[in-house]
Chain A
């Protein structure tokens, strides 16, 4: 394990504070849901708002879609809060996010990602701290429509990312603690798709310099990656799907693999959704074969 050489001194104290920040983020997410607008905000069809992805943007679990967060249609707005948990045994990732969607046109979101390095800590290779990254993001619907008309919905987004752990970023040899992704996403939902079931497909093209979502810092050079999702509503409230997210592999100390998941999503009503996935994250932080589960819960007022 090459990361054994990492030494974190003062960082430990700072990072312990960050632990509490995470709880704060969950609290803020919960408050945002409760304090949401009392106006009509349920103009979209069930499922058409997607879930909250791991980066906080509306989408699947791993991939941002062209959909705008929440159930607000044109002339409406909606707020969303979400938490998710990924556990591979060697690592765990907790995220909390809030987002607002306005007029089915603009989405703003904020997320806190917190990575626990359980295996490295147990091996004494790493102090008992979590690595945190913030993501502030915006998404604009450019045109088209998820369901109606001839063209799929097309959106452009930017995700600004900041790692709070400079010493680790320096230690793994990444260039920066801050970076941003830009992406273009196209989404379409066929009402009578596969087997006469609602079927959603999404393709996202992204330019990024982030190592592992930015948790391990950023590269000065940008990479183009392709991401895709497919989901079928086998019943009006249960969807089965799969996602693929290709990743840059620009960090010599910690090789990075493409991500893949298969999921079952539950959409009992427009106020909350949950999804459980099996994820294959490949090599993470120098540890290979990271597979595990991914649970996410999303709420809207």
Chain B
């Protein structure tokens, strides 16, 4: 049984990255061929970093715009965004994702609990937003592993967003 489990793990291992998931700044990692490095980009564009895999500032902006299209079209959570200033939201999301992914930006919006205060967002609504985010990232051409790494970071905000 253990042997079979090991086989499964070995079989699955090449599916993901051929480079380390968390390459340190000094790590001798080959430049990713999946994405062109954004020109004139932010400070910490370490190849193999999540920020780079998301396509840097340009890629993140394009991705956030795609996510917003999906969120606007999602009737299940539309009422939560009735008073939303979409340009403001886009800019804050870009900042936040840049910061989370190691792009060296600083998020200038409200802390998460304050930003969602009084909205009583449910677990289901949080998941629906996650689904819209996934769909947006997919349509923006973000690689699956990078999508998941970003979602895993956003998932840590669950407790600060749900039920506030």
Interface residues of A (CB under 8 A from B): 40, 42-46, 73-76, 104, 147-149, 190-192, 194-198, 230, 232, 234-236, 240-242, 244, 258, 260, 262
For B12, list chain A residues within 8 Å (CB). Answer: 194-195, 197, 232, 234, 240
Cβ-based interface call for B78 (8 A): no
A236 touches which of B4, B17, B144 (Cβ 8 Å): B144
A40, A104, A192: which has the most chain B beta carbons within 10 Å?
Answer: A192
Label chain A's interface by main secondary structure.
Answer: loop
For B148, list chain A residues within 8 Å (CB). Answer: 191-192, 196-198
Q: Provide the bound-state CA to CA distance between A198 and B151, in Å.
A: 10
Cβ-based interface call for B134 (8 A): yes
For B122, list chain A residues within 8 Å (CB). Answer: 43, 73-75
For B151, list chain A residues within 8 Å (CB). Answer: 191-192
For B4, list chain A residues within 8 Å (CB). Answer: 242, 260, 262
A43, A196, A234, A242: which has the most chain B beta carbons within 10 Å?
Answer: A196
Cβ-based interface call for B16 (8 A): yes
Name the distance in Å between A43's Cβ and chain B's nearest Cβ.
3
B146 touches which of A42, A194, A196, A234 (Cβ 8 Å): A196
Cβ-based interface call for B139 (8 A): no
Can you list 27 pairs linking A and B with CB atoms under 8 Å apart?
A43-B127, A44-B124, A45-B127, A46-B131, A74-B122, A149-B159, A192-B145, A194-B12, A194-B15, A195-B16, A196-B16, A196-B17, A196-B146, A197-B144, A198-B148, A230-B8, A232-B15, A234-B15, A235-B144, A236-B144, A240-B8, A240-B11, A242-B4, A242-B8, A260-B4, A262-B4, A262-B8
For A40, list chain B residues within 8 Å (CB). Answer: 76, 124
Q: Provide the bound-state CA to CA distance between A155 and B134, in Å.
A: 28
Residue of A nearest to B128 (CB): A43
Contact with A along B123-142 (1 / 0, CB 8 A): 11101101100100010000
Given contacts A74-B122, A75-B123, A242-B8, 14 further A-B contacts (CB under 8 A): A44-B124, A73-B127, A74-B124, A191-B148, A192-B145, A192-B148, A195-B145, A196-B146, A196-B148, A198-B148, A232-B12, A240-B11, A241-B8, A262-B8
Q: A-B pairs with the 3 shortest C-beta distances? A: A195-B16, A196-B145, A43-B124
- Known contacts A191-B151, A197-B148, A240-B8, A43 near B15 by CB under 8 Å: no
Q: Provide the bound-state CA to CA distance between A76 and B123, in Å.
A: 10
For B128, list chain A residues within 8 Å (CB). Answer: 43
For B11, list chain A residues within 8 Å (CB). Answer: 240
Cross-chain pair count, CB within 8 angstroms: 95
For A235, list chain B residues within 8 Å (CB). Answer: 144
Q: Provide the bound-state CA to CA distance between A242 and B9, in Å.
A: 10
Cβ-based interface call for B152 (8 A): yes
For B13, list chain A residues within 8 Å (CB). Answer: 194-195
Residue of A nearest to B125 (CB): A43
B13, B16, B145: which has the most chain A beta carbons within 10 Å?
Answer: B16
Q: Provide the bound-state CA to CA distance between A126 and B65, in Å.
A: 67
Does the CB pair A73–B144 fall under 8 Å? no
Cβ-based interface call for B5 (8 A): yes
Does the CB pair B145–A197 fall under 8 Å? yes
Q: Provide the bound-state CA to CA distance between A43 and B126, in Å.
A: 9
Name the distance in Å between A254's Cβ and chain B's nearest Cβ.
21
Name the distance in Å between B94's Cβ and chain A's nearest Cβ.
21
Name the distance in Å between B137's Cβ and chain A's nearest Cβ.
11
CB interface residues, B 1-50, toward A, < 8 Å: 1, 4-5, 8-9, 11-17, 21
Name the distance in Å between B146's Cβ and chain A's nearest Cβ.
7
Name the distance in Å between A289's Cβ and chain B's nearest Cβ.
16
For A236, list chain B residues within 8 Å (CB). Answer: 134, 138, 144
Does the CB pair B155–A196 fall under 8 Å? no
Name the distance in Å between A204's Cβ and chain B's nearest Cβ.
15
